[in-house]
Structure 1
Amino acid sequence: MALQTQGIKLAVVGAGPVGLALALFAAEQLPTATISVFDARPLDKDVSADGRTLALSLGSVQMLDWLGVWKAPAGSGITSIKDAAQPITEVHVSEQAATLGVALGPLFGGRLAEPEVRFRAADEGVEQLGVVLPYGALVAPLQQAWLARCAAQAARLSARFGTPVAELKQSADSVEVDAGIVERFDIAVVAEGGVFADQARKGLSHDYQQNAWVGTVDVPQARPGVAYERFTRHGPAALLPLRGGKAALVWCVERDADPVAELDDEQRRLVLNTLFAAEVGPISGLSPLKCFPLGLNAERSLSDGRIARIGNAAQTLHPVAGQGLNLGLRDAHELVRALARNNDVRAVLRSVEWQRAPDRWAMIAATDFLARSFTWKLPGVGIARGLGMTALQAVGPLKSLLAKQMMFGSR
């Protein structure tokens, strides 16, 4: 028997950015649905101070604007996300010069000595390619918006904070959510991801044997709004622009021969000054760095019966492209749109599986290829990447196509 999606009971497990965005989408697009958000985090825990850095594409910014949280109306009690966001107006990707590249550089006008590709918002006719902001500056307004919705429509919307879900158990026509009390729902969406090291292994899993060292740096002479990604022989390193002459650092290196672990903060700062392109300018300060193991951990399917997984619960990616969160937000948006169009929950989940496949698998494949390329010991791998960047920079239409993929995903 088909279910009317406008009146379904929807459980969202996980109140991170993807879970909260999905709940807000659903509250708007499914006006008679009953929606409950579960999270182990207590409601009185202040998430606004969480300084972890996130990169949002332009497409994700547009989704947040549609939800009314990007520029929250005055008097709404919701903090505007825009106020904390630093726009990205350019992405500069480069490869540290290889010996052969230095040798051949003069033959190619010097371009192989420091191969690079630049993506500029102005070239794509947009004001920004995306933004960078702290995790808390995104999650806190989304949580405020969800709580306001729940207060206004308490009969159908609820926030179950401090309520961890112990088990999901499904039958032919429902999903039982065990969160202390067992409750039946028509569909459960798991958006509770976590980091690679803490996750149970999924259908497609690979440990890259790399660590990511993350923190913030002071770059007083760097051009505002420029994100830098540098491919080094140890792995990719990125500087994402923040306000006030600072940048978020993501520094990926081999785990077994980790060149960062034994260094103190000053030594790390000095090394970083040798890695990035000269236009970044001096790195004059460095916060204490935190270390995270990196890997791919992805479900082969987004759905199982009446249970769907999105965001990091569906795929945890290497940060080399900075697209994991954006992929999760697109998962959420398309799932809700499909539920609004179709009255058969199982059919909806099957259709979303196929619809999301090109975007999802293209991003998984691209990040996996790049991440693995830093573990290959074949001679000339770095030079091949450099040649690819030089060619991409020279072919405008191809570069524009890739820029649109970064901003909006596969459409």
Structure 2
Amino acid sequence: MATDTFDIAIVGAGPVGLTAALWLLRTTQWRIALYDARDPELAHADPRTIALSHGSATLLQSVGAWPLHATGIEHIHVSQRGFFGQTTLHVADYGVPALGHVARYGAVSHRLHQALDAYAGDPRLTLIPRTVITALEQADDHVVIRTAEGTATGTVATATLAIQAEGGLYHEQAGKSRQHDYQQTAIVSHVTCEAPRPGWAWERFTTEGPLALLPQDDGFALVWCCTAAHAAERMAMTDAEFLAALGEAFGQRMGHFLTTTRRHHFPLGLNAASELVQGRIAAIGNAAQTLHPVAGQGLNLGLRDAFVLASSLRDSLDPAALRHFARQRAVDRRLTIGATDLLPRLFAIPSGLAGHARGAALALFDLLPPLKRSVARHMMIGQR
């Protein structure tokens, strides 16, 4: 059986892999194979919530995948439980339509697939769904892609370059060069409350982890980070008990919490590669770094990976183009990974003195507009 040959093989058709494929199709003539381990219809039904920055919305718009069904964030309120000090960000101060957007993973996946439909029949694109890659093996001038469903040897294709975009969740991954288990578990659901404040996103730090409420449709997407023991207790609660515990942790800014959808939970950790490129293979998105969900930066960082990589491959498939991509991503990755690693560690220090110091820092941050603008800019568009 003849082996299929491509210019670029993209492993993983989540939002990051799809975005990389779309940008390459818009800007190059390379022949692309897009491998997807999942059934696309299952991805479209995925109810998980994701946060998209203003910059990510702009990037998605450039590949025809925006607008999509999402709720805009107009205000961000950051505080810590039990101590003074808070800071707020308001969309009117930054000249953008929204500081960010909250959407369901399935809606983003569906919109990206709709954009990809424009290339149906294009000889440059080969979609390979429901196929698990078992190995990427490097030769002198190509990469061999092996799958669980292939020929007798398992070799199904070769490509000049490969992009690893199949990341998964922290607890599903092999360890990378930089790892840290935060000893925290995230509980996620969708909740409604008595007195919602539309457009407001809340990040409330506690010593066991941050609690985030993001505006979504008629309520809020909840991400409640806590110890594994407390997560087990809260997962076992009735809805009424859980909502009461949430109200105690968050406070009464929006009245009582009224309803919650089914809760899900997963452990949290940092797992980041020090090198994005190994020979002819580049890693992007969760394949390159899995972050703590604080500040909702994981997917946004991955989308920036995708765009910079695709731009670096516009004129050449030489491995030097991949090395250029890695250099271009170094500062943004270092700053974003560093910030999302520091914040949960810093706010987990239990001493009262540390709590007062954090409160003073939040209050001071709120009084320094230039610093707020710099931080807000990085949250919205990254470091370029």
- The alignment-based identity, stated in percent, is 43
Alpha-carbon separation, structure 2, partners of 1:284 and 1:303: 48
> Shift of the alpha carbon at 1:344?
5.1
> Any residues of structure 2 matched to 1:9-408 within 5 Å, and which?
9-30=7-28, 32-43=29-40, 45-71=41-67, 81=68, 84-98=69-83, 112=84, 115-149=85-119, 151-153=120-122, 155-179=123-147, 180=150, 181-244=155-218, 246-256=219-229, 258=231, 260-340=234-314, 342-343=315-316, 345-408=318-381
The amino acid across from 2:21 in the alignment is: A
Alpha-carbon separation, structure 1, partners of 2:247 and 2:229: 23
Is the 1:213–1:250 contact (alpha carbons within 8 Å) kept by the matching residues of 2?
Answer: yes
C-alpha root-mean-square deviation of aligned residues, in Å?
1.7
Classify the secondary structure of the residue corresponding to 2:295: coil
The structure whose residues are more often strand, as a share, is 2
| CA 256–243 in structure 1, closer or farther in 2 if over 3 Å, else same | closer
> Shift of the alpha carbon at 1:281?
2.7
Deviations 1:356-394 (A, max 9, x none): 011001111111111222443444222222111101001
Alpha-carbon separation, structure 2, partners of 1:261 and 1:52: 17
Alpha-carbon separation, structure 1, partners of 2:283 and 2:169: 15
The amino acid across from 2:228 in the alignment is: R
Classify the secondary structure of the residue corresponding to 1:278: coil
The amino acid across from 2:12 in the alignment is: G
Alpha-carbon separation, structure 2, partners of 1:28 and 1:178: 28
The amino acid across from 1:146 in the alignment is: L
Deviations 1:199-223 (A, max 9, x none): 1111111111110000010024221
Deviations 1:231-262 (A, max 9, x none): 12321000010112x11000000224545345
**Count of aligned pairs between the two proteins:** 373
Deviations 1:154-189 (A, max 9, x none): x21111001211110011211111132431111100
| CA 329–160 in structure 1, closer or farther in 2 if over 3 Å, else same | same
Instruction: Note the residue ranges of structure 1 that are not aligned, 5 or more in a row.
Output: 1-6, 72-80, 99-111
The amino acid across from 1:116 in the alignment is: Q
Alpha-carbon separation, structure 1, partners of 2:335 and 2:249: 29
Alpha-carbon separation, structure 2, partners of 1:34 and 1:220: 53
Alpha-carbon separation, structure 1, partners of 2:377 and 2:65: 24
Normalising by the residue count of structure 1, what TM-score does the alignment of the two structures yield? 0.87
Alpha-carbon separation, structure 2, partners of 1:344 and 1:40: 25
Is the 1:240–1:249 contact (alpha carbons within 8 Å) kept by the matching residues of 2?
Answer: yes
The amino acid across from 1:397 in the alignment is: P
Classify the secondary structure of the residue corresponding to 2:257: coil
Alpha-carbon separation, structure 2, partners of 1:91 and 1:85: 17
Alpha-carbon separation, structure 2, partners of 1:302 and 1:370: 24
Is the 1:10–1:36 contact (alpha carbons within 8 Å) kept by the matching residues of 2?
Answer: yes
Classify the secondary structure of the residue corresponding to 2:97: coil
> Shift of the alpha carbon at 1:343?
2.5
> Shift of the alpha carbon at 1:328?
0.2
Is the 1:295–1:316 contact (alpha carbons within 8 Å) kept by the matching residues of 2?
Answer: yes
Normalising by the residue count of structure 2, what TM-score does the alignment of the two structures yield? 0.93
Classify the secondary structure of the residue corresponding to 2:224: strand
The amino acid across from 1:93 in the alignment is: V
Runs of 4+ deviating beyond 4 Å:
256-259
Alpha-carbon separation, structure 1, partners of 2:317 and 2:9: 16
> Shift of the alpha carbon at 1:287?
1.9
Deviations 1:50-82 (A, max 9, x none): 1100100000000111111214xxxxxxxxx1x
Classify the secondary structure of the residue corresponding to 1:279: coil
> Shift of the alpha carbon at 1:148?
3.4
Instruction: Answer with 257-266 or 293-302: which moved more.
Output: 257-266
Classify the secondary structure of the residue corresponding to 1:238: strand
The amino acid across from 2:121 in the alignment is: A
Alpha-carbon separation, structure 1, partners of 2:42 and 2:271: 29
